[in-house]
Structure formats: structure tokens, C-alpha cells
Amino acid sequence: MRAAPFFFIMLTTLLSAAQVSAFDYWQTLPSSPVIPENNLQTPEKIALGKQLFFDSRLSQRGDVSCNSCHNLSMGGDDDGAAMNMPGRDIIRSAPSVWNVGYMSTYFWDSRAASLEAQATEHLLDPNIMAMQNATLLEARLKNISGYAGIFANTFADKQISLQNITQALASFQRSLIVPGSRADQYIAGNKAALNEKEERGYHLFQEQGCLSCHFGTNFAGPAPGPGLKMGDAFFELYPTVRGSLYEQKYDMLSDLGYFHVTLDPEHKLFWRVPPLRNIADTAPYFHNNAVNDLHEAVRVMNRVQFNYPITEKQVDDIVAFLKTLTGQYPTIELPRLPESHGVSLVQ
Amino acid sequence: MRAAPFFFIMLTTLLSAAQVSAFDYWQTLPSSPVIPENNLQTPEKIALGKQLFFDSRLSQRGDVSCNSCHNLSMGGDDDGAAMNMPGRDIIRSAPSVWNVGYMSTYFWDSRAASLEAQATEHLLDPNIMAMQNATLLEARLKNISGYAGIFANTFADKQISLQNITQALASFQRSLIVPGSRADQYIAGNKAALNEKEERGYHLFQEQGCLSCHFGTNFAGPAPGPGLKMGDAFFELYPTVRGSLYEQKYDMLSDLGYFHVTLDPEHKLFWRVPPLRNIADTAPYFHNNAVNDLHEAVRVMNRVQFNYPITEKQVDDIVAFLKTLTGQYPTIELPRLPESHGVSLVQ
């Protein structure tokens, strides 16, 4: 493996030397993400979270649910549609919600330290769900009689509150696990799981440098667990190698990423390393959806992160490997939502 | 039952006198709608239709699927959201897709004679799915490799064509049946299915005149079967009794309904009689979503269709009966959609 490119880890607890020596860059998907102690999983909470995830009444105009842009019939994203939606000023790609529980921070710029915080921000963002405030959101759900009993059966305080809404949404999302990719089988030791071309891609992914950032559980750097707390972020400078024509072609310099969170000039163009699982199902690519082809995404990353020589055959091999990161999506029963009988709440 | 108000039936084959004498205004939901001979139901076609129904790539920008506005997690409609969607000029309420196979025509103005024709129009309507033409729609689905095999297994001609797309969508929609409402149980003879208040509403629904238009299988007039061909429409003049303050308050006179289809002045303000099944789950009401309360909808209909005396208690009883028209929604597994690997088709 070549040396890692310049990157920046904001870890309050760095991995100890002993942990590093035992660390395996190639990891399979654990059966569950780390569950926070202040929001333990229960079947009731997951079921309620699923209802809320599909409930467009969580948006002010009633026109979108979480599932509208994080589509569980597909790769958990939106095919790039949200950035083109009329009446909304959405500037970044909707990331996949599958396996999202394995991340340590949320949003492209890492500004939310938990799924719960991320959900709160989505609900109140005027360009996304656009609820004006928590009170109005809570009042709306309180007007849906069926939710009262469901919240009462789910939470000790029995309340329909923003906190409980976001806890349920986060619990459901932590259950959205896509295991069993052929890459996982290969990493676990089944060398027959990849064909020759994919195996070449696997080795190139490491040798070319991709793995130096896209390692670990979610191919997004360290995952929460021993040595990494929730909220600790793993960033990458993008682009790292400056001066390519791609910078203008794919508009790489106008959105400064993490800088917008801290206003620290040293954080300009820092981005949370995005996960690569199911990457073949989440085009278009990059924070701004600028590249709509996985081959081109590999070419671009190689140029602006490493600027190593690469052939088209090598790009094709890496893409073949990336396609083996697609797991076995679970089946999901469409939830039935409680009604506000005889009246619409979004009119 | 009081005399029927003025209404207008455009039937190429009128019910014969013998059929009329045997006709029962109160009918339960048959186990299946009439299936057209040129689009017989098959499990494959229904399954494909479900995928297409949930596939937002059938819209030009990829931002809505059929299910976005005909939400199967709820009453099969949109809570009125579509008319408020930015960037779309939608002037009429999205009707429920549940039990839609029991209708003889489609759209509020009855302009489509089949579910297949209705689907074609939705796909190409610049304000709805907004595909520019059939060729572009077909080309998009042909770029999703997984669909090729599914269409080949489903249709004799194996083609991804607009005709096959709309046939599959129609077949799926004919499977969207919500049986077992308490009203059905009552009509079938189980007099314990309604409580006293609901039973009073049942009788008032008939005595006050509602049943004179909202009769039959779908409480929308005659259903396709012996004596009524698909494409035959059952219209109502709305408002029938002119001069109420509601006309302005609920904007009843600006959209002329069926007149826009025929341009025949005699058809001004004619509307297809809407179905009432699951009506408590499909607020807001009327073609323009003008009334967001079922009680008010009953008051308005009584005033502008009959102008009979009615008390608030009677309105409340009728609403109680209308709420018994909600059936037992089937569970639906979220379909998994074939992907266009490594590229988005809606960018």
C-alpha cells in the first residue's frame, strides 16, 4: 500500500499504538452498529421510526418524507433528484441511509454528532422538511390520534416530543443494515467470492491509495467503537492535489465543506470521508452530485487525491471491485400510517 | 329515499328496466373489479406494476413516483400536498388509488376511459411525471438493466414499451382492494357492525339524498359490469342548487369540469361522481381540495346539491357513517427496484 495522502483526523481519542498495530483496514460489516446508551433499540421504537420515516406529514407542506430522498426501494438515496427539486435550495447530495448507523458523524461536513441531531436538523431545515419549529411539529403529530398510543407504548415519558421523534427515527435508521456483499464474503476469507477482475480491483483499491481513507466497517474511515467516540470525525481534503482541470469541471472549490461549520481557514475543503458500501447504487457522486458515472468518479479521485498514474483498465478493475460492495438489502414492509380522520393536517 | 337530484348519466348502454328493478343501491365491494380482456391479471404483471408505481425514475426529474401522491401507506392520496408542490401547476386533488379498479372512467372530469389511458396521461403530463414523450420514457427504463428481464418475463412481446408500462401499472392498481369496511359488513346483513349513531347516519345518507348519486360498489354510481361498459361515465352537476355563499367561498365556479373535455356548454360544472370508500382518509375534499373537513364537506354537499334542511346532529351522524366506509388495508411489501449501476438516469 502506498503512503496515505494528507488527511486530517479530528479524534478526541486517538487510536493507541497497540490498537493501530492490530488494526485491519479491511473489515466486514458487524451485525449491528454501536447503539448509544441513551437510545437503546426496542422493536416498538424501530417500528415507530419506520412509520415516521415514511410519513410525509413530517414535512411542512406534506410533500416529502425521509424516504422521498433516502429511498429504501433503492440505494437509500435520491439519484440526485433532491438538488433539482423546484422550490428547495438543496446544495449537497443526499447520502445513502443504508448502513448509516456505522458512521461516527453526519452530513457531508460532519456537523451532526449523532443520527438524532441529524434528524432534528433535517426536520427544521427550511429547504428539507421545513417544519418551522419543534412545537409545530409536535402539535401536528398530536393531531394524529393514532400516534398518541404508539408514542405512549414506546417511550417511558409517553410524550410526542421532538426528542422522541428523533430517537425513533434514529433507531429505525440503525436497523437499516445491508450485509453480505461479495466484498464482505471475500474479506471474511471466501476467495471465490470475487472473480479475477474484481480481485485485481480489490488489490488496486489498496495499492492505488483508496483504502488509506476508505477503510474500515463502512469504507469511510474509523467507525464508532473502542477508540472512537460518536461525534469524532474523519476528514479528507478534497481536492488534495491541486491544479487539475477537474476543479472547475466538477465545481470542487465553491463549497468549502467543514470550513462552513468552524469558519477556521484550515478547514477549507475538508469533507467527511463518505462511505462506499452500495456505491454502485448511489450515483451521482461527490457532495455536489457533479460526477454521474462511477468510472469517472474513480478517475477524478485518483487525479485530485493522489495524481498517480492509472490506466483505463485499472479504473475498470476498481469499478468492478466497487460493485462488489453492494450487499443484500433486507425486505421492508410498507408501514401503515395513522390517519387524521376527516381532515388533512398539511393543507 | 327522496327523489334523486338532477344528474346526468352518459351511458352508451342504459340499464334496462328489468335491471333497474333488481338494482340495489347499497352494495358491498366485490372481491375483484372487472378485469379487461386485453389486460388480464398475472402475478408477474402485478409485481412489475408495483415496482413501476414506486419508481420515481418514471418522472422526468426523478423527484416523484406514483406513490408520492397516491400514498399506499395512507388513504391512497396526498393529503392535498400535490396542489401545493412548488414547480408544478396541479389544479385538482389527487384521488385515492385504493379500489380504483372499480371505477368506469378516470380523472375528476372523466376524460380517461381506462386505468391504462389514465397512466399514459399522468406519465406525459408536464405537471405530473413530465416525461417528454414515450420514447424517452422507454429509453430510460431500457437503461435499467434489471427491467429488461422483468418485462421479458411479463409480456409476450417482451418489450419495454409505454403500452406494457401502463398495462403493468393498471394491473397493479386493480389489485389495490380495501375490503371489509364496517359498512360492507352492515350491508351484507351484520346489523351489529354499526353502532346506533352510525346506523342513523346510514339512514340519513339515504333519506337526505346522498345515495342517489353515491350508490353502488364504490359509492360513485354504477360500476363496470353488466349494463355499464368501461368508459361510460356517471356525472353530477356541482353545484346543482345555485346561489349559495359556498360557491365563492370554496371556488366552485372557476373550474368547469367536464366542459373542458367536450367544450359543450351543457357540460359546464359536470363532474364524475367521486367514490366515497375510505373517505375519512382522503381529506381535503372536492376536486379543488377546497374543504378540509368532512363535516363541512357534508354541509356543503347538502346545501349545493339538495338544499334540504339538515341539523348539525344529522351532519355528525352522516360523518359517523362515512367513517365506517374505511376498509381493511392490505399489507404491502416495499418493492426493490432494479438499479442503473454506477450512474443516475435522472441527472
Whole-number pLDDT of residue B14: 41
Sequence-ordered list of residues with C-beta below 8 angstroms from that of B133, at least 6 positions apart, any chain: B124
From A142-156, A283-297, B220-234, B320-334, the region with the lowest mean pLDDT: B220-234
What are the cell numbers at A114?
449523532
> Which chain B residues have a beta carbon less than 8 Å from that of A54?
73
> Which chain B residues have a beta carbon less than 8 Å from that of A321?
none
Nearest-angstrom CA–CA distance, A256 and A267: 8
CB A200 within 8 A of CB A319: no
What proportion of chain B, given as a percentage, has pLDDT over 90?
A: 90
CB B173 within 8 A of CB B115: yes
| Chain A, nearest residue to B338 by Cα | A74
Amino acid identity at B259: F
pLDDT of A5 over the 80 cut: no
Q: Which whole number is the average pLDDT over A191-207?
A: 98
Q: Which whole number is the average pLDDT over A119-135?
A: 97
B234-271 per-position pLDDT tens digit: 999 999 999 999 999 999 999 999 999 999 999 999 99
Whole-number pLDDT of residue B102: 97
pLDDT of A311 over the 60 cut: yes
B79-124 per-position pLDDT tens digit: 999 999 999 999 999 999 999 999 999 999 999 999 999 999 999 9
Mutate to test the interface with B, among A55, A77, A79 (most CBs of B within 10 A): A79
The verdict on a CB contact (< 8 Å) between A341 and B335 is no
> Can you name the residues that pair with A266 across neighbouring β-strands?
none
List the one residue out of B264, B204, B208 whose CA is nearest residue B235.
Answer: B264
pLDDT of B13 over the 50 cut: no
pLDDT band at B22 (very low <50, low <70, confident <90, very high): low
CA distance B177 to chain A (A): 15
What are the cell numbers at B23?
338494482
Whole-number pLDDT of residue A223: 87
Q: Which whole number is the average pLDDT over A277-292?
A: 98
**Residue found by looking up cell 463518505 in the block:** A274
B42-58 per-position pLDDT tens digit: 999 999 999 999 999 99
What are the cell numbers at A286?
461527490
Element (H, E) at A315: helix A312-323
CB B19 within 8 A of CB B305: no
ipTM of the complex: 0.93
CA atoms within 13 A on the CB side of B120: 14
What are the cell numbers at B338?
432494479
pLDDT band at B2 (very low <50, low <70, confident <90, very high): very low
The verdict on a CB contact (< 8 Å) between B292 and A344 is yes
Average pLDDT across chain B, whole number: 93
Whole-number pLDDT of residue B225: 84
The verdict on a CB contact (< 8 Å) between A342 and B295 is yes
B203-222 per-position pLDDT tens digit: 999 999 999 999 999 999 99
List the one residue out of B325, B58, B308, B328 whose CA is nearest residue B217.
Answer: B325
Task: Report which DSSP code applies to B314.
Answer: H
Whole-number pLDDT of residue A144: 97
Average pLDDT across chain A, whole number: 93
Q: Which whole number is the average pLDDT over A29-55?
A: 97
> Which chain B residues have a beta carbon less than 8 Å from that of A337?
73-74
CB A299 within 8 A of CB A290: no
Q: Which whole number is the average pLDDT over A107-121?
A: 97
Mutate to test the interface with B, among A144, A345, A347 (most CBs of B within 10 A): A347
- In this prediction the pTM is 0.94
